[in-house]
Amino acid sequence: MPPLAPLAEDVSADVVVIGGGFTGCSAALHLAQQGAKTVLLEAEDIGHGGSGRNVGLVNAGLWLQPNTVLERLGQDYGQRVISLLGQAPDLVFDLIARHQIQCEAVRQGTLHCAPNRGGEADLRQRVAQWQALSAPVRLLDREETHRLTGSPLYRCALLDPRAGTIQPLAYVRGLATAALNAGARLFIHSPVTAWQSLGNAWQIESGRGRVRTDWIVVATGAYTLGLQPKIRAQQIHLPYFNFATEPLPEPARAVVLPGKQGIWDTRTVLRSFRLDRDGRLIVGSVGSLAGRHQRVHHAWARRLLQRAFPMLGRVEFPYAWDGMIDMTADQVPHLHRFAPRIIAINGYNGRGIGPGTLFGRELARYAAGIISEQELPLPFTDPQSVASRGVRETFYRLGSLAVHWAG
């Protein structure tokens, strides 16, 4: 990133974007390109939240099967979301090319892999539903799956050629740099502490500065601070970690993910793999690396690689990181309006890159007056608190720990 500083003065804007992740940086970029005077405020650094801790799989659609999206959002919004998010990888890779973002972009598709019969049944349903929508997905048999993954663990896989992989932190910082180049002003270490109505405008306070603005777009996801407790109340935080190996030797790279597809599986406590530009194998799963948890997950990841890619032998993980995914009870994103011209979105449920980039663009178009409320991908809804949220979060954290300890 170019050097950025905290907000330390009084400024004005047409739109203030809160949050420097995929959604916020995409919104700031598209607003600035439309001529809006744009200010972005980030409490930490660009990409500090889930965007910089992401696995790096640029997938199409939501986590849910298309028919389930239709059931939960209704025909109109469901079809709109399915269509738009089916094209989300196009938007991501187009922005990467247009702004020359150096983020290790590889568009060779992704593989959703089934390790058992239940997973295979799920993938067959997904393939049938996507193909009914004319999506270019196909189901690979065991032999072809083995060839493209290099692993004997999977019965079959769904290959989606619309998808690909990126280095997510580099991508979100590339979006931020593009927003700067388009004229947006970005401030880091600038948590929003208050906002108040000025009649036809809003005043935002952050540290030693204030911003007078017409619009506020809240794009803070799982890293929402205390200003909007209603957002946090409807989120179920799911921890996810990644370990990275040293660069694999050349003979291993010819076998492990030879086509450079990123993969993840159908398990409840799922696993993910991708290779980076230098040949490091990145393995991820549900869980937190806090305290002694890291030791359990580390041992599990080593055992997994010995089973999944036995040709690697014993591996070390010199790199490790984790972060939070914001889940919703119905597993679809939610769009909120807290006051006139204060809007927010959250709940990508583990699909941050494509949806974050696309919804950032759509919120920018709405705030700029290019599209109407009726043309938004989602309806505005009121946040609904999740019952027993803390219990669920503890279950996910400790449940994944137990699975990895025993697995």
DSSP string, 323-356: EEEEE-TTSS-EEEEEETTEEEEE--TT--HHHH
**Exposed, middle or buried by CB within 10 Å (0-12, 13-18, 19+), for 375?**
exposed
Tell me the pLDDT tens digit for each residue of 145-187: 999 999 999 999 999 999 999 999 999 999 999 999 999 999 9
Average pLDDT, the chain: 96
Q: Is residue 264 part of a domain?
A: yes
| C-alpha pair distances (Å), 141 with each of 7, 133, 277, 374 | 55, 22, 28, 43
Judge whether 193 and 227 are in contact, CB under 8 Å: yes
Q: What is the pLDDT of residue 207?
A: 87
**Per residue in 333-366, pLDDT tens?**
999 999 999 999 999 999 999 999 999 999 999 9
Do 144 and 190 meet the contact criterion of CB atoms below 8 Å apart? no
- pTM listed for this prediction: 0.96
CATH of the domain at 285: 3.50.50.60
| 66 located within any domain | yes
Instruction: Calculate what percentage of the chain has a pLDDT beyond 90.
Output: 95
Domain contains 92: yes
**Within a domain: residue 399?**
no
Residue 188 confidence (pLDDT): 98
Domain of residue 77: give its range.
10-394
> Residue 4: inside a domain, yes or no?
no
* Token couple for 244: 């990275």
- Whether residue 205 contacts residue 49, with contact meaning beta carbons closer than 8 Å, is answered with no
Q: What is the pLDDT, as a whole number, of residue 2?
A: 85
**CA–CA separation, 230 and 236 (whole Å):** 12
What is the structure's pLDDT at 148? 97
Number of domains in the chain: 1
Average the pLDDT over 137-151 and give the result.
97
Average of pLDDT values for 297-304?
Answer: 96
The conformation of residue 248, written as its DSSP 8-state character, comes to P
Question: Considering the domain boundaries, does residue 3 fall inside one?
Answer: no
In a domain, 187, yes or no: yes
One-letter-per-residue 3-state SS of 131-159:
HHCCCCCEEECHHHHHHHHCCCCCCEEEE
Evaluate whether residue 406 is within a structural domain.
no
